[in-house]
Amino acid sequence: MNKPWIIWSLSALCAILVFGAMGLITRHTLGLEKERAHAEARAELEERIRLSLWRMDTAAAGILAEENNRPAWHFRDVDLRKTTRLTPLNLDVPENIKLHFEVKQGQVSSPQLNGWTQPGSQWDAQLSPVQQGVKLTQQQQNNWRTLQGLLQNDGTFQGWQAKRNHQSQLTDDNLGVISAIARRDPAKDALIEPAKPSQEVVEAVQQRKGESSAAVRSSVAYQNNYNVAEKSKRQEIVKKSVDNRAMQQKAWSGGAKMKKSSTKTAPSVQAPAAALAEAGDAEIGKKLAESQELLAGPHISSLRPIWLAGELLLVRDVQDQSGRRVQGVWLDAEALKETLLRNIRDLLPNAELEPVRKSLRVMLGEEPDPNEQDPMVMAALPWRLIPGEMAVVEPVGWTPMRKTLGVAWIGALFAALAAVILLRGVVKLSERRASFVSSVTHELRTPLTTFSLYSDMLAEGMVQDETKQREYLQTLRKESSRLTHLVENVLAYSRIERGSARARVENVRVSALIDRICERLRQRAEEACMELHCEVSPEVAAREIQVDTTAVEQILFNLVDNASKYASGKDDGKVIELRALETRQGIAFQVCDQGPGVPKSEQRKLFRAFHKSAQEAAHTKPGVGLGLALCRRLARALGGDLRIVDQEKGACFELRLRV
């Protein structure tokens, strides 16, 4: 495969494949990074949502607990003009509440009315200055009228006539429904009976407590399960907060002795008590009996939140010696919503609460609650949290992943660049070597042709003239030395390339070295009709140097050979000078001629191996462009150097040797 375009095409193909693969890896990695960032953002958002729901449920559970703790008699409407014994509800309306109310036998009353019936009556005028301070504000009066209309609204719940409590004397559907909801079996109430988390949820939560992977935590299924589990926990805690029936009963029993009219719950508790008493555990039996007494008091259900015509009410069913009635709290939904959202602004600035209006069948426990598994619904109040945030976070800047990819790309580009440079060098070298082989072949074939022709003619007796014969033999000898010189150079260069050139260093005087090689150099110069002048000062001649004389001889012969070839023209001086000089580091030999010299543009190329093609050789002088490259390498192998020296006329080469 000696065609450069094939090499370059294959290299380009390899580069395309490598960079294509790198591109795919980069794309995939960035995609993964983006996905991971999204998952992390989703997990973060879910965490904030859970925290927000906890905060809101905690706040709402507080309100529920506080209102649940109110005894039934706090809800009575007391006429300010007739009594001074007021309940807290007579004196004030708590925050986030519009009014408290009680519905008994179709009559709606409110402890905050304080005997007020309607505007324009003489009620205001009969109040003392102190009593004026606790009377209804204009807003509360308006609220009262709204509440009356709300609770006595006809025709809305026609289908629920059958559900009315027979003892209830209310003539409107709303009140019947409210009464039914307030008396509903708590076991069917999703708010009271928390949803049991599935096995997967439990496992997910346990896994989270351990060292679960980020991938598992970021998965949507895991988050949903986890939210459901959290919701069930919130429901449990809310239930504990609001389910204070025992406390209420205790408050009731602390007053006048009640006649135990209801024993609904007794059998379930009496049975174990009797069993324990029979078993001889008198202490525990006694305590259980006390509890039974407490539980056998008046019936008050827990407050239950419901939406009625867009208003949020808390209602409970009360049954005592005064009879059966519905008590309730009309919450200021807007104000409460604002309060709850204000608590979570730091977590979800754009969050909203959306009312969860259950159908009546659901509220009455006849159908499963569709919101039972919705983790966004509050446990305490019928509101769904709308987070108002998007879990989209694009990775920005130089993330560690991007840095790694960047480094990989830079590395790949540098590798590709290095490969291109290396390949270019290899291709160029290959081309130069091919050219060199062609040149060497040419240089070898030409003298071989002379050998073949001359030996044939001499052998065949085609050359009779003696002078001609001598001329032929001289030519043969010259060609033989030309061949020898060429072969020597090629072999020497090959040895240096392989690193197997062994220097045979010896101590020798400069004068002895010059004497040893001068004759051969002079002979070469004479072949080109030139003279060799050797100039060595006595001081330098006496210097002793440690050097490989064969290498020095080869270098100097090449230099003289070049001078003989290139500076033997008609217009050139016929003298080649060989000088030995002293330098700082040691000795320098200069070979200078008076020929055309070396153009500046050629000087750099001159020492490069195989720089000369056969065609160039034909245009200039025979040779393969190997001599000077070989000389420089030999000189450097000797610890010296070979360089061209500037001079006015001709070329001058200097071999520097360290002593």
Partner 1 sequence: MMKADPVILVVEDDAAVRQGVVDSLSFSGYQVLSAADGREGMEQALRASYQLLLLDLVLPHHSGFDILEALRKERPGQPVIILSARGEEADRVKGLTMGADDYVVKPFSVRELLARVDAVLRRSSERIVGSDRYPFDGGEIDFSRREVSLENGDRKELSERESDLMRYLIANSGRAVARDELLRQVWRIDPKNIETRTIDMHVAHLREKLGPTGANVLVTVRGKGYRVG
Q: In a 10 Å sphere around its CB, with 0-12 CB exposed, 13-18 middle and 19+ buried, how is residue 82 labelled?
A: exposed
**CB nearer to partner 1: pick between 616 and 641:** 616
Query: Which 466-525 residues touch partner 1, going by CB under 8 A?
Result: 468, 475, 478-479
In the bound state with partner 1, the residue whose beta carbon lies nearer, of 487 and 645, is 487
Name the residue nearer to partner 1 (CB basis): 122 or 464. Answer: 464
Residue 46: name the closest of 193, 190, 227 by CA.
227
Q: Closest separation between CB of residue 521 and partner 1, Å? A: 22
If the CB atoms of residues 241 and 435 are measured against partner 1, the closer one turns out to be 435
Task: Decide whether 237 or 476 has the Cβ nearer to partner 1.
Answer: 476
Of 421, 618, 636, 647, the one binding partner 1 by CB under 8 A:
618
Smallest distance from the beta carbon of 534 to partner 1, in angstroms? 29
Nearer Cβ to partner 1 (202/473): 473
- The region of 101-109, 333-341, 609-617, 651-659 touching partner 1 under the rule CB under 8 A is 609-617
Binding characters for partner 1, 569-608, by CB under 8 A (x = yes):
----------------------------------------
- Residue that has been written with the tokens 């090689």 in this structure: 517
The contact pattern for partner 1, residues 419-458, with x = CB under 8 A and - = no contact, is -------------------x--xx--xxxxxxxxxx-xx-
Query: Which residues make beta-bridge pairs with 40?
Result: none
Instruction: Quote the least distance from Cβ 480 to partner 1, whole Å.
Output: 11
CB of 461 to partner 1, least distance (A): 10
> Should residue 619 be labelled a site residue for partner 1 when binding is judged by CB under 8 A?
yes
Q: Considering the rule CB under 8 A, would residue 615 count as an interface residue with partner 1?
A: yes
Q: Are 557 and 564 in contact (CB under 8 A)?
A: no
Q: How many CA atoms lie within 13 A of 550 on its CB side?
A: 8
Bridge partners, 323 (sequence order):
320
The bridge status of strand 304-308 relative to strand 544-548 is unpaired
Q: How far is the CB of 531 from partner 1 (least distance, A)?
A: 22
Cα 363 to its chain centre, rounded Å, is 48
Question: For the chain, percent helix, then strand, then coil, each to nearest 5?
Answer: 55, 15, 30
Q: 457 vs 501, which CB is nearer to partner 1?
A: 457
Structure tokens that stand for 16 in this block:
């395309």
Where does this chain touch partner 1 (CB under 8 A) — which range of 51-59, 116-124, 236-244, 617-625? 617-625
Q: Does 248 bind partner 1 (CB under 8 A)?
A: no
CA-closest candidate to residue 458, choices 448, 446, 445, 471: 471
Do residues 556 and 521 touch, judged by C-beta distance below 8 A?
A: yes
- The answer to whether 610 contacts partner 1 (rule: CB under 8 A) is no
CA atoms of 236 and 379, how far apart (whole Å):
9
Residue 394 is a binding residue for partner 1 (CB under 8 A): no
For 211, half-sphere exposure in the C-beta direction (CA atoms, 13 angstrom radius) is: 0
Which C-beta is closer to partner 1: that of 424 or that of 442? 442
| Residue pointed to by tokens 């179709």 | 106
Q: Shortest distance, CB of residue 576 to partner 1, whole angstroms?
A: 21
- Considering the complex, what minimum distance in angstroms separates the CB of residue 567 from partner 1? 17
Using the rule CB under 8 A, give the single segment among 5-13, 99-107, 461-469, 502-510 that binds partner 1. 461-469
For tokens 């027979």, the residue is 166
The whole-angstrom separation of Cα 89 and Cα 147 is 17
Q: Residue for token digits 């001068």?
A: 518
**Minimum CB separation from partner 1 for residue 427, in Å?**
20
Let me know: does 170 contact 153? Beta carbons within 8 Å: no
Question: How far is Cα 508 from Cα 530, in angstroms, rounded to an integer?
Answer: 28
Residue among 241 and 568 whose Cβ is closer to partner 1: 568
Angstrom distance (rounded) from CA 73 to CA 83:
15
Do residues 570 and 596 lie in contact, with contact meaning Cβ atoms separated by under 8 Å?
A: no
Where along the sequence are the contacts to partner 1 (CB under 8 A)? Answer: 438, 441-442, 445-454, 456-457, 460, 462-463, 468, 475, 478-479, 614-615, 617-620, 622
